[in-house]
Amino acid sequence: MSEFKRYKLNPETLLYEIKDVSRSSRVMNTLLLFLGSLVLFVLYFWIYTSVLGWDTPKTAVLKKINAGWSARIELMNRRMDRYDAVLQTLASRDEDVYRSLFGMNAIPDEVRNAGFGGVNRYAYLDKLDRGSLLSGTTRRLDVLAKKACVQSHSFDDVAALSKRAGDMVSCVPAIPPVNPDKNKYHLSSPFGFRADPVYGYNRMHTGVDFAMPSGSPVYASGDGVVSEVKYEFFGYGNSLVIDHGFGYKTRYAHMKTISVVEGMKVKRGDQVGESGRSGKATGPHLHYEVLYRGNHVNPINYMDLSMDPKEYAAMVRKRQDESKAVLQPFSLRRR
């Protein structure tokens, strides 16, 4: 006999009669009730989210939290816009004023704006879209930090160089490399395009030529260090380069003799050799170049050829006397 019973009204006798309910019927009814409830729940959820477009309570909470963090990140981006604008102003002033004033080479854009190579610094963001707000802000913050670091190092270099800015006056190649006595030389070729004296076609002449007898003394036009000495059969022939610092270099070419060596410090007015006609030269002369920050500039703009030859000779004698005074203690020690 079944443990479960059902009472059913008999319309004829108007009495409740007991009917047994089988286990299979109970299971089937329970299953149907569950399935019906499930269908109603899915239908309700679909209408709630898809038809009405409402969020579930959990989704609504998460969206609220996300909106708060997005607002904070947007505020951070606006602040980074201001910081980036300030850095751009500092970089422009650094390149156009400070580094230019002291003849320092410009910092390439690829160095100022380069990213981070090597190890993937953003592996933890790989699951996010690269265009997402968090990913973009993280990368931008790192780039901004690097720009600030590069600018800080640049200012350190400028500050270090500014401490010896007083030396700049004596380092700039401001005098002619030969005595400006017009009876002893003449300018045979100016700076600029000209017909090549050997090959005939037009080409850039990167310096000025002082035509003069072979063996005429050649002097350093500014303080510096001899960075290059070459003895060649063609081209510049016997030549030397003096690095004056502050972005300036001078080249002396086609010389007969060179009286300095690489690494030697020289002062303005020191004799560095004698003019000649070595290398590709059609006659005895001195080829003289001025380079500023790696570019050839017109040497005439840096010297006064109307300088009194006697004053020039007096400057040379003064340098010779100073050199003897420096060398004399060493010669006495050797004795």
Whole-number Å distance between alpha carbons of 281 and 287? 9
Span of 43-52, 57-66, 92-101, 131-140 with lowest mean pLDDT: 43-52
Q: Looking at domain 170-334, does it have CATH number 3.90.1300.10?
A: no
Three-state DSSP at 244 gives strand
Residue, of 209 and 203, whose pLDDT is higher: 209
User: Tokens for 53?
Assistant: 């477009």
Give me the DSSP letters along 265-292: EE-TT-EEEEEB--SS-SSSEEEEEEEE
pLDDT, position 5:
67
pTM exceeds 0.75 = no
Mean pLDDT (the chain, rounded): 84
Q: How many helices (H) and strands (E) does the chain have?
A: 7, 15
- Residue 273 has a CB neighbour count (10 Å cut-off) of 24
Query: Which residues lie below 8 Å from residue 83, measured CB to CB, with a gap of 6+?
Result: 144
- DSSP β-bridge partners for residue 271: 219
How is the chain split into domains, by residue range?
A: 5-51, 84-163, 170-334
pLDDT of residue 332: 43
For residue 323, the model assigns a pLDDT of 82
Residues 285/238, Cβ–Cβ less than 8 Å: no
10 Å CB burial of residue 230 (0-12, 13-18, 19+) is middle
| Percent of all residues in the chain with a pLDDT value above 90, rounded to a whole number | 37
